[in-house]
Amino acid sequence: MNSKLTIRAARREDSALILQFIRELAEYERLLHEVTATEQQLAEAIFGPRPFAEVVIAEWDSEAAGFALFFANFSTFLASPGMYLEDLFVRPEFRGEGIGKALLAHLAGIVIRRGWGRLDWSVLDWNRPAIEFYDRIGARHLDDWLQYRLDGPALGEVAGFAAPGGNE
């Protein structure tokens, strides 16, 4: 029997599956303790009146095998939107079948069809299998850029610097 891969847009009823994929990815990345998202929060953020992200699901013989969660960003240099890939995950039992590459190809196609300028993502520096995969497909590692994050108490502290009565 030949296995068949399909990639489809996620639906609201996939919210529990998306959260499960997020947890599996976080466990692989040794970050499960940081996952606080709930199924309801995800459903609202992805499928609510103002969606903040999109998700595609890879199915192998109709079984959920992987997913990608992404959202639009913006390049001032290109004066064009781009795609930021937040999460890409293929369950271990489905790895080696080309699903990760198919997900990236699907996302690249979305970028092109939408007329966007680029596809960006981050990878943990210890994740050699992912880094080697990205190198093999021709992705560029941006050595001269460091990623920063402002969250938790520091985020609140910096927000306190805002001018009184400031607008969004």
Catalytic residues: 134
Amino acid (1-letter code) at residue 132: E
- Burial string for 30-47 (b: 16+ CB within 10 Å, else e) reads eeeeeeeeeeeebbbebb
DSSP H or E segment with residue 59: strand 54-60
Q: What is the DSSP letter of 138?
A: T
Q: Which of 40, 47, 48 has the alpha carbon at shortest distance from 16?
A: 40
